[in-house]
Amino acid sequence: MRGAVLYSPGDVRFEERATPTIIAPTDAIIRISATCVCGSDLWPYRGIQSINQPTPMGHEYCGIVEEIGSAVTTIKPGQFVIGSFFASDNSCPHCRSGYQSSCQHRELVGTAQAPILRVPLADGTLVTTPEVPNDDLIPSLLTASDVLGTGWFAAAAANVKPGATVVVVGDGAVGLLGVLSAAQMGAARIIAMSRHASRQKLAREFGATDIVNERGEEGVERIKELTSGIGADSVLECVGTQESMTQAIRSTRPGGSVGYVGVPHGVELDGEKLFFAHVRLHGGPAPVRRFLPTLIDLVWKRKINPGKVFDLTLSLDQVAEGYRAMDERRAIKALLLP
């Protein structure tokens, strides 16, 4: 088969790769119905995160089970499934407490930009839909694999409650779906920080009540103005830079919470300033598996339409253009169809 391989910054190739097969009895092989390019894929694409060798890419996926290992009991061939970027057994102490992305036996699922995918720990990782979905539902179901699950975790980690004032730092797919998540959790006011008209429009469709164009100190001051000098109850940090994290913390009221899901690059925190801020911080790689049943149900019943974040659809063999478009901010998120 052919799949995406990153050779060096800016150099993604769609080339021959070994077709995945069952390795462990807990594996499943799925035929991909849709995959995509993630904002976190841009870190190595831009050379900010180094790679030492040609690296297969992709960690968002949904599709039809083709084969299962001898120990798999809950997943069957022919089912439509969605999984997370970390495979988990869903039974270790960390999984049972809801942190499957810290599973004691976790494995990265990182080769999904291809027609066929091997998923380890299939029983614990994959969640089925009630039946094989219509094609129009597949983009939204795909978001549950990462960006919707990550945006939802950002809102949960930031302790979003009904009636809350929420700020979302970052207008990529995760930030936009963080807006959607906060709205689903009952936030009364959602302030999206964005400078891009198309993203602002989608943020409002997802539930944003206010848009702030400013960043850094100016952004913090604008948040304070909008909240009568108090700050937000909950802030979702969906970028992963020093500026975004500082902005998130300083936009939060004393006693408020920051949910941070942007993969940190060069982020350092001042302990003394954090001490006197009286702000809670919680985040990390999203335990998507915890939320998958809920998110699949919301999509299946058409209560939400997170697939709107895909504003570019390409065939899988055009994956390099998907990376370029997102890198150049010509696209929010590129959907890839085999």
- Encode pLDDT of 129-160 as tens digits: 999 999 999 999 999 999 999 999 999 999 99
- Encode pLDDT of 189-233 as tens digits: 999 999 999 999 999 999 999 999 999 999 999 999 999 999 999
Q: In the prediction, which pLDDT does 254 show?
A: 98
Query: 27 falls in which pLDDT band (50, 70, 90)?
Result: very high
Q: In the prediction, which pLDDT does 104 show?
A: 98
Q: In the prediction, which pLDDT does 331 show?
A: 96
Query: 280 falls in which pLDDT band (50, 70, 90)?
Result: very high
Q: In the prediction, which pLDDT does 106 show?
A: 97
- Mean pLDDT (the chain) is 97
Q: What is the mean pLDDT of residues 104-108?
A: 97
Query: 294 falls in which pLDDT band (50, 70, 90)?
Result: very high
Query: 312 falls in which pLDDT band (50, 70, 90)?
Result: very high
Q: What is the mean pLDDT of residues 26-33?
A: 98
How far apart (Å, rounded) are the C-alpha atoms in residues 273 and 290? 33
Q: In the prediction, which pLDDT does 319 show?
A: 98
Q: In the prediction, which pLDDT does 209 show?
A: 98
Query: 164 falls in which pLDDT band (50, 70, 90)?
Result: very high
Q: In the prediction, which pLDDT does 214 show?
A: 94
Percent residues over pLDDT 70 in the chain: 100
Query: 30 falls in which pLDDT band (50, 70, 90)?
Result: very high
> What would the DSSP string read from start to end of 197-263?
HHHHHHHHHHT--EEE---HHHHHHHHHHHTTTS-EEEEEE-S-SHHHHHHHHHTEEEEEEEEE-SP
Strands (E), the chain: 2-8, 11-16, 28-36, 55-56, 61-68, 80-82, 86-87, 107-108, 116-119, 127-128, 165-169, 189-193, 210-212, 232-237, 252-260, 280-283, 312-315, 334-337
Q: In the prediction, which pLDDT does 281 show?
A: 98
Q: In the prediction, which pLDDT does 128 show?
A: 98
Q: In the prediction, which pLDDT does 300 show?
A: 98
Q: In the prediction, which pLDDT does 57 show?
A: 98
